[in-house]
Structure 1
Amino acid sequence: MTNIELPYVEKNKSRHGTMRYYLRVDGKRICRLPDDINSEEFARKYWEERNKLTVAPLTDVEKPGLTTIVKPYSFRWLCVQYQTSDAFLRLDSTTQAKRRGVIEGMMLEPLSENDTRPFADIPLSKMTVSHIEVLKTRKRDTPFAADERLKALRQVFDTKKDGKQIVPNIAKGVEAYRVHTDGHATATADELAKFLEHHGPQSKAALYLSISMYTGFRVSDLAVLGPQHRKNDEFRLRLFKNRNRTPVDIIIPLHPILKAVLDQHEVSGLVYLRTEFGKPFSVKGLGNRISDWFRQAGLPHLTSHSVRKGLATDQAHNEATDNMLEAMFGWKDAKTSKIYTRNAERARLARAAVAKINWDGIGQKLLGYGEAE
């Protein structure tokens, strides 16, 4: 959702170039809104504050936010049923929090410009495919966020009670945008070379990048990765994502450059990446620190996932097969027949996948050898 679609949003650029947003009604600044205008957090805060106000032409009566009373067989009631279901509780805590935020943002939104009743209170018997379309298209400027909404809605409407589906899944009748991206840019060799030149090969940032470049681990895995996961010249660990639902144990051989980098850095304790106080990062804390490192290097559009995508792209361009990438990243998207061969071949294929890492030779910068050949 953009500010064009949201009345009463004031934009103000700070002297540092940061765009700030405020809710402003009748010439009065009500509150500051979150910085990312396309986020669920922004939508949630906007409608929470908006529903407290008397704002023409949407309403003539002050509209309160959601009450503590959940109306039976309303959209909100169904969302509560979903969030107490096994399907939801089996998700990782981070996935639960993200899904909950998406759902809460939708519940607070009004049905339309002329009907300020929140989606939360609409009876399920009155909810149609058109309502699902509205919730999706309000995020059309950010297709990935729109598809995340639709994914959440499909899960909500698939909720069962006593083994039976509560209502027909009307969300399945809505077509996703199916964007071929997860919202993260793909890091290139030139961009990572710029990162290394800014931070230097002996920095903590370079240690992070070297591990990420040659393993593709998610931030949730990087936050706990340490010497205890290293067995000779291999990393062996259970991936954090889906660890409680469909756990994946992987073995990734150490690339020679990564092995040399780890030998250059002093390591104490149970993790490789530590705070200035010698403590392990939280997953969120490490993610924020990595974002800071990219911003400091003049690469604000990149994230740790960008490096993961860049690694997969680099390997694919160097003729890594689908099976190699599945073994390397722990992906489980292959058809059933591959399940029987994957476990036996995982370590062998991962070793072959590591040999396909090239990064256009910039790995030498991690070793402090100067310009790549």
Structure 2
Amino acid sequence: TGHHTWSVPEIELFVERHAAGTKAHLALMLFLLLGQRISDVAKFGRQHIRKPRHVAPKLRQIHAGRWLAFRQHKNRNKDPVDLVIPILPQLETVLQDAKDAGTLGTMTFLETSFGKPHTVKGLGNWFADRCKEAGVPGRAHGLRKAGATLAAQNGATPHQLMA
């Protein structure tokens, strides 16, 4: 039960419909590669990116590239969680493709057609429409689950998955 977990063929079908450089492809990859809630992805933007020299030396040993630093939206008022996660090379490529295509937002990575940040529900509804266009049954939350599954299949440790 619960949200539908995307399969690899469903991800491929979505990418066939929404190619690299499109806002839909950017959204898919943000959900899949960052593994964060839609409430956080809706807020991500350039202001969250940290250059390697701005993260702890131990983190730079793990990943030499850029990082995403943010406070999770969930429980932000009673028990806040601050995260710093690597921007994987694959996501760097996706961000550059979106920038080159003019689909990368200015304030947030994903913006409405009016150049404003999406609300959480607005982003969820917009992404659901892109899923329908691609003929896939999934939604954003199922990509978070799929990303964790793919990471585990590619050798991520239980502690890496929990992190």
- TM-score, normalising length from structure 2? 0.84
CA distance in 2, matches of 1:290, 1:268: 16
In structure 2, the partner of 1:220 is: 39
Deviation, 1:265, is 1.9
Which segments of structure 1 move beyond 3 Å, counting only runs of 4 or more? none
CA distance in 2, matches of 1:313, 1:206: 20
1:266-324 deviation line (CA, Å, top 9, x unaligned): 2452200001111111111001001111111101x211010000011111122222211
Pick 1 or 2: higher relative contact order, CA cutoff 8 A, min separation 6: 2
In structure 2, the partner of 1:270 is: 107
In structure 2, the partner of 1:317 is: 153
In structure 2, the partner of 1:248 is: 81
1:144-180 deviation line (CA, Å, top 9, x unaligned): xxxxxxxxxxxxxxxxxxxxxxxxxxxxxxxxxxxxx
CA distance in 2, matches of 1:311, 1:317: 10
Q: Which runs of 5+ in 2 are unaligned?
A: 52-65
1:198-239 deviation line (CA, Å, top 9, x unaligned): 122121100111111210121101111000000020001111
| CA RMSD, Structure 1 to Structure 2 (Å) | 1.2
Q: Could you say what secondary structure the match of 2:74 adopts?
A: coil
Asked if the contact 2:35/2:147 (under 8 Å) is kept, the reply is yes
User: Among the aligned pairs, what percent are the same residue?
Assistant: 41
In structure 1, the partner of 2:90 is: 257
Q: Could you say what secondary structure the match of 2:84 adopts?
A: strand
Q: 1:294 aligns with which of 124, 131, 146?
A: 131
CA distance in 1, matches of 2:78, 2:28: 29
Q: Could you say what secondary structure the match of 1:265 adopts?
A: helix
In structure 2, the partner of 1:196 is: 15
Q: Could you say what secondary structure the match of 1:184 adopts?
A: coil
Counterpart amino acid of 2:98?
H
1:238 aligns with 2:74: no
Q: Which runs of 5+ in 1 are unaligned?
A: 1-180, 328-373
Deviation, 1:260, is 1.3
Counterpart amino acid of 1:258?
L
CA distance in 2, matches of 1:226, 1:252: 14
In structure 1, the partner of 2:59 is: none
Deviation, 1:195, is 0.2
1:326 aligns with 2:126: no
Counterpart amino acid of 1:281?
H
Counterpart amino acid of 2:33?
Y
Counterpart amino acid of 2:69?
R
Counterpart amino acid of 1:265?
A
CA distance in 2, matches of 1:235, 1:313: 21
In structure 2, the partner of 1:114 is: none
Q: Check 1:293–1:217 CA distance in 2 against 1; reply closer, same or farther (3 A cut).
A: same
1:211 aligns with 2:8: no
Give the paired residue count: 145
CA distance in 2, matches of 1:313, 1:284: 25
Which has more radius of gyration? 1
CA distance in 1, matches of 2:32, 2:147: 6
